[in-house]
Structure 1
């Protein structure tokens, strides 16, 4: 019988674990602390905007300032998360350390003046720039540089949402569609856990979500116990989640590309984008779709948390948040896409629950993770996120929603630098269906 470990391999495994634990410690301390600072500043900026709603009128000006900062100080960092992904694909590129403070400052500015963006992009860029800096200081070889940047992504993502397991798997899964880099699994997991612990040690408390749904089982088989009517509804919802994820990605890319194609004076792009956000806010008569949207603003009614409750979202809340976010990001404001995707998914899930008679809290939770899964092409990470955020009892529904959304979201995700390792669809002959794309987003 073949030996599982050859002679000397246990020592190499132990050496590998010790090496990456020692590397992870300073990196997790830096990333976890900066993410904690970022989350604290983000909360302060949001509260200040609630206190002074007129700050929204300065959003176009803030966009011009952000444009100028990246034009004159960014020096290649304006690509954001795509720069991190490109560095993993090609370690010769490099990640400037200035990316971390620059994206932190500009994301806070975007939130302060009402832009509809998230926070994961900032956390991932903080993790990527710090990890690359640490890798250079430790004089790591190119292969280890790739691993340490993956660790930085995992640390930033895990710390900003309080989901270290998801952070580790997300970093490995998001690089290329249809491929996971398992060789970096343990280093990413160690770094994500430590960074989350450091962030929590600073007193940061993450939003708590709860699904009170209690599953009922039709025991028609001994190996699969579930409510089959609800399962059919979840599959249908998964299709909708995937299509909306594709709509979000395409809308964001289209606004960015068309703006750059037809507007020659580039600083006008964020100015016009900010003006559109102001106009939409007045058109709808609510500030529900500004900022993160985790909790409703004063006098507001719709948010991620309310979507889990009856009457906590309108029929088209998901569409308005999608439009606000696509305009904000497409116009060049800084921040992440993931928290707005949570909003879009949770409110869409609420709407589908009302239409189908499914449990509202369950469907909101499924939309929360499944639209994210479709937009980033990371169904495994998002299934794990459901377990970390909502509990493991409905894991079958998590997986069905996320996997279905993944297949129906197409090959274009929110990250243009995400590569296509394997097409999602195969012909019956076993040959890959040629979608004409070399990489997602292209």
Structure 2
């Protein structure tokens, strides 16, 4: 009887912890969605729109100005950190004993804003992943009592999924991407649901600020018949 009670208590504790983890994943998603929306607004609607109104000669040299500002931000704000963003997420995921360092976060984000805002060749997804991973890692570090040792990187992954989900407006893609990029055996079983939760909440938060307009709108109805389906099947087999 005592054994059964102990077993039941363990099951209840696991269920309660799972609920807490999902709530924290949702919080991570909300914070990430808001942070990525702010990042996107600052780069696209403030800096880049301002750049487009400048003279042609200034547009030509603007990327160099952005790179100079990025170097300065990495050197002084990030204390000499590398410009890595998504790579930093992957490295931290695979090293169980390594925590994502919060000190360079501000410098790296400022460097990303300067590079993108002044027209530099850089994507939005890397900084978005890094923002989400930093938020998730920081939250889990402060609330580590709710997580087991096997789930040491859970909110790191959830935050990365939330970042991709927000910037691409694609929740499922965000969750799959965050799990696939640093793939290890058995990671999906433990982290899929928190990643999906964070991605969904992040998407809702982001579009509440930026709307649901597609990044690449498609008009019309492209033709599709059995020949297309057969060709796709052949390509899949090959």
Q: TM-score, normalised by structure 2?
A: 0.80
**Alignment partner, residue 188 of structure 2:** 181
CA–CA distance in structure 1, aligned partners of residues 13 and 108 of structure 2:
38
CA–CA distance in structure 2, aligned partners of residues 128 and 88 of structure 1:
10
8 Å contact from structure 1 (residues 35, 156) kept in 2 = yes
More helix by share: 2
- State the shift of 1:192 in Å: 0.8
CA–CA distance in structure 1, aligned partners of residues 195 and 170 of structure 2:
13
- State the shift of 1:141 in Å: 4.9
- State the shift of 1:135 in Å: 0.7
CA–CA distance in structure 1, aligned partners of residues 44 and 72 of structure 2:
25
**Alignment partner, residue 217 of structure 2:** 209
**Alignment partner, residue 66 of structure 2:** 62
Q: Which of these residues, 189, 196, 205, is aligned with residue 203 of structure 2?
A: 196
Q: TM-score, normalised by structure 1?
A: 0.45
**Alignment partner, residue 376 of structure 1:** none
Count of paired positions: 223
- List runs of 5+ in structure 1 lacking aligned partners: 1-6, 219-225, 236-399, 405-442
Provide closer, same or farther for how the CA distance between residues 143 and 56 of structure 1 changes in structure 2, counting only shifts above 3 A. Answer: farther
Please report the RMSD computed on the Cα atoms of aligned residues, expressed in angstroms: 2.8
C-alpha offsets along residues 357-392 of structure 1, whole Å, 9 cap, x if unaligned? Answer: xxxxxxxxxxxxxxxxxxxxxxxxxxxxxxxxxxxx
CA–CA distance in structure 1, aligned partners of residues 193 and 116 of structure 2:
34
CA–CA distance in structure 1, aligned partners of residues 149 and 69 of structure 2:
36
- List runs of 5+ in structure 2 lacking aligned partners: 1-6
8 Å contact from structure 1 (residues 94, 132) kept in 2 = yes
C-alpha offsets along residues 368-419 of structure 1, whole Å, 9 cap, x if unaligned? Answer: xxxxxxxxxxxxxxxxxxxxxxxxxxxxxxxx4xx97xxxxxxxxxxxxxxx
**Alignment partner, residue 276 of structure 1:** none
CA–CA distance in structure 1, aligned partners of residues 22 and 140 of structure 2:
13
**Alignment partner, residue 121 of structure 2:** 116
Provide closer, same or farther for how the CA distance between residues 173 and 103 of structure 1 changes in structure 2, counting only shifts above 3 A. Answer: same
**Alignment partner, residue 155 of structure 1:** 162
- State the shift of 1:27 in Å: 1.6
8 Å contact from structure 2 (residues 78, 103) kept in 1 = yes
Whether 1:92 aligns to 2:113 is no
Provide closer, same or farther for how the CA distance between residues 16 and 70 of structure 1 changes in structure 2, counting only shifts above 3 A. Answer: same
